[in-house]
Structure 1
Amino acid sequence: MKKKFCNFLGVLLAVSLMVPGGAFAAFADEITSTRDTPQLTTEQTQSSSKAKDQEAQEEQAEAATEDEQTIPSEQQVSDENEEQKTNGTRAGPLSEVSASDTSLDNPIAPVSLLRAPTAPQVVDVDITRFQIEAPKGNPVTELDKNWSFYLAMDWKVKDSSTVLHKGDYFDITLPDNLKFPPNYSAPEFDLTDSDGNVIARAKVTPGPDNAGGSVRVTFNDKIENKYNVHGTLYMSALFNKQKIQDNKPNTFTVTVNGKAISTDLTPTKKGIPSDELLGKWGERINGADQVIWYARFNYKKANLHNAVVTDSLSGDETYIPGSFRLNKVVLNDEGQATQVLENIDISGKLTLSPDKKSFTLNLGDVAGSQYELAYTTTYKPGTTIRNKIKLTSREESKEITASYATQDNGGTAGGDLASKIKLTKVDEDGVTPLKNAVFTVTAPDGSTFELTTGADGTVTSGVLVQGTYKVKEKKAPLGYELGSDEYTLEVTPAGGALKTITNKPIKISVCVKKTWVGPKAGPVTVHLLADGTDTGKTLTLDESNGWKGQFDNLRKYKADGTEIVYTVKEDDVPNYTAEVTGDAATGFTITNTNTEKVNVPVKKEWVGPKAGPVTVHLLADDTDTGKTVTLDEAGNWQGSFSGLDKYAADGHEIVYTVKEDDVPNYTAEVTGDAATGFTITNTETPKPKKPSKKVPYTGDAGVLGTVVPLSAGAIALLGTGIYLRKRNK
């Protein structure tokens, strides 16, 4: 027996060397797992053997400490678009553009060791609410038979304790008096939870001629370990005109697992206004990013002359050349073309713009005929395209704008956690999610593991053993204070533990003070800016607060962890310029410098002959400023010192005076002031008198007679006479 066992081990070893390891793992899963196998670490069979108990505890601890974080994706359910609208007319008759149906493969995720690899199961679901809405969210009991609308349903798993698994599904049978053409909405769509995670995928399979059919909802691995599963479903639909009765209540029924639920609605038939000149609508072409547009002209059968049609597109969409066709038709009272009378050749009548975003069509004279124009444009799914059309003629004109947007299908799905911890980290505002918060979780046996929040602020543990867990923040998100509280959470197989934890952001204060160069002005208002954007916070600085203040309770970091750059700016103060120095950490100083200027005029006056040019110096507070003016005859002996600061750096008003360079033989006197102007009076200095020469007196009055002034020549002659007289003696 021992030898046979050794041989068996040898064969097994040889096989193991040739077979990939993953195959044995799969084989092991197959032989050890069944659909009813209890979840690992939550409901393990008790054993009397201490060894087995110890082994089970070690396995549980290992599973509990695995960093099995489930970070929800960012995918969101796309907002539904309202039904197509037309200005000035209702939607036209609905044509279904057929094309082959396509489906998206649901990728198969790796099999989890926490779930047996058995076949997907049908989920027993109840429809708890069913109604028709147009637009989505607006229940209606009456609707134009040509309009599109939504089927809206609430559903839930019948047994709230049922835990679903990947691949589980349920089917809903759709009413055969409704149509679900794939060109109106995508046949496959997602169901998401409140965090935007895709929980399930729905696929619509229409019946013959797109009437009735079914929708299958298949869950993915995000549904694992959830109970009390429920959700919503909304789908775009049209009336099946061959199955409904106009202007009477019709019953519409959906069925799931043999259980039916119904709602009543009256499809109304509304004819085209008898005086309609122009109508338009658009439809999606299935399998292509294109919209086909229909326009009908002259339903009223008027006689029109020189009729011209112009059309233009919004956004980036363009017309597709070669798609235009014009028919002379017979229109019934619903605007449908029941007969084509003539295919109109539009060669030479149609002009398409170079950018393919507008066209002109010359219809010429329309003698009571009705027409239908069809053409195709490009279309970006998920957007709304607007198409403006105008018909002009000699008699009358009409302009309308039609729009088209896809009718998006969608829904929700979710449930409560089982045997897991889910932490949600948010700002103190209770809304803003915080990423990269690290928590230490202490298990019932004292072992620990960490959970780190993702971009959406949440983190979910793997499946845990039942018991009491302690959660405490180890590392706060960048820009936030570390939380000091410890939380106690209870985990059971029937329910998980959910905890929302808030963080306080790090706060700072920003100080501001005011200094003046020049006299202090009235109160000033200072604004706080964050990253260059005005926060709306202000300070008023004035004499009463010593021209100082501060902004308090300011976040230091943004939610993404980047530091906020704070700056300040004040309202303008007349006659002052402002300079801001400093920063948020050290405080800001706003210096206001007075910008008032003065002019000091100077003029020169002379007492005595005018001398040459004179240089006048300007003094500020008795200190020569280095500024000079030259006064001369050419300048009419006048000048001015212009653009002078009125106030000094310490705020006092500057006293300006003038002084001129000395002028020889003149004294200078300065009168006036800076405000009225200075006058410098230059007075000539008097010259000293020379002593006069006296004529000698001889005592001969007969010769001299009276004393009179004599010229030099007379004195010479007189002298000669005197000399002769002396000689005669």
Structure 2
Amino acid sequence: MIHGLKVKQQSSFKRGLLLGIVTIFILMLSQAFSPSNQVGAASLGADQVTGLSTNDAQENNAPVTPDMSQKWYAGPIHTLTYQFKIPDNVKVNDGDTATVTLPAGAVFRNPQQFSLKSSNTNEDVGKFTADAKANTGQITFSNAAYWAKYDSNRGGQIQFDVTGTQNFVPSYPQDTYLAKNGWGKNESARPNGTLSQVTWQVLVNPNNHQLKNISVSDNLGNTTAQSIMNDSFKVTENDSGQTMPAKDYTLTPSASGFKLTWNGTLDKAINIMSTTKVSDDNAYSQYGSELDLPNTATINATDISKSATGTPVTTSNTKTVKLSMGNGTAHGDEPGSFKTNIAVQKNWKGVPDGVKTPDVNVKLFADGTDTGKSVTLNAANSYQSSFNGLDKFAKDGHAIQYTAQEAKVPDGYTTDPGGNPLVAPDSNGKITLTNVYQAPITTTITVQKKWENVPDGVATPAVTIKLYADGVDTGKTVTLNNENSYQAKFANLNKFSANGQPIKYTAKEASVPSGYVTDPGGNPNVAPDSNGTITFTNKYQSCYDRYTYVRVVKDWQNVPFWKCTPNVHVTLYRNGTPYRIASLNDFNCYQTTFMYLPKYDDQGNQYKYTVAENKVPRGYKTTTPGQQQPVNNTVRLVNVYQHHSHCSWWFDFNWEFNF
């Protein structure tokens, strides 16, 4: 037994030694083939791979500036594109990396992991990766043989979704009873970077109404790609985040969502959280293609916030979560391959000093057919750009004839030669597009002032005239006064609009001078006569013409001889707005006159005056209620005494005469 034990120990020792040797060998192999130990692998700097810095991002073909990205809210999606280039003298090895930096304030919304495909051979030539909430990502290059073979005009494009970092505090209109939201769950990332779960939120009663008879249903769309996870439900109070007691509600899951009924009255906002599983057999889960996952929540309830009977409430809200991985392409030309570049430039003729030349979009054509490629020429690129990596020959072997054309000739310019033709490259492979400045056709409007009935010795005032184009204030004004004999001009006015239509100019006084009225009245917009002259006429008004009066008389009817009529107060209204007040009493015989009332406003419109009794005295009723218009400058307000019963009459009589 002892011998047998010894043999067993020796056998165990040999097996352990062999296992140790195998383990060390495997470790050596793994280190030998680890990417970090690939021969020549390095981090390529910004001078070796250009176009990946924070200032190189574009959204919708427009540069993203820090002023823009730093205002982005957390949550909403922004799709960014980077165009990178690799100079011809840079060697690319397997495992070389390049860093992509997002604009200030932007972070990756979800993890990113996608391949870079060569556009000419469809080979994998790299991979892009980034972590959620990071502000940098990394390209790891592969297939060094491709980059070595196609080592001219190398570059590529990557595109992915990001979001902002600014906190967003939602606010809801008072008639909002339900809101829906959803987002990919970053913690559920698969090995290929796609997400396997989506979190859904239903916000119920965000404005803290008092609701009863509450029924909330949630229905998934695209159920072939997502399914509810029955163990994921959680109902919480929105403000505190505390879990709501299960006795407060009944929640019933289904294959397409769930239904929740609330027990009793709900007077606070609650969240219903759930998670769906994204199936593994769709194009997104396997390849990162875009996947749309819609979800619709509906609430039926009774709002008893304002009445016991309440108001029925029914509303729905749909949220679609878009899941996608980014995408990337790369390209390069083989030395001596049949590729060509076409340079384009803009030439301006006859442009006056101080006139800013506009941006121009140039389209590329191949054998007369639009290629869909375009470049923008502007002051930033000195009106020069190029179309690179173009095939010299078609598939049938004929040489492709490239031409270019402006997408739209800028307003105020013509092409040379005219007609915006397709232009071919010169012997140096450059296309020059020429625009000739066209001085706009202009017109002049003369304005003058005429005065009527102005007494000798009265100095006429200065008047400001405003110019309108097609009824819109141009912001242009002139002042008419004694120094310019009440004449001035609006000069160098465009005769036609951008769409070629004649512009209709009119003018009006900024305000009508005090003591004058316009002819015609109301200070209208006045059009030029056949000679291009607009004449404004102001008529002088005497004091009598400028002012009016309103007399107010109180009539008492059926008042007993022993009854003392009370004081009353009346209000004068101008255009429906209280203007003056007065008291009618025994001392003024229940009459008054509002004097020196202006007849016209500063636009020459006549004021409308009315009078109303502030409060009808007790024991009387009025036959002239509300605001009364003057008749021959007089308003009569009538109060009729209301007779009381015999006892009341005797009481009033004794009271009046102290019996």
Report if TM-score (shorter chain) is over 0.5. no
Larger C-alpha radius of gyration, 1 or 2?
Answer: 1
TM-score (norm: length of structure 2): 0.38
Structure number with higher relative contact order (C-alpha < 8 Å, ≥ 6 residues apart): 1
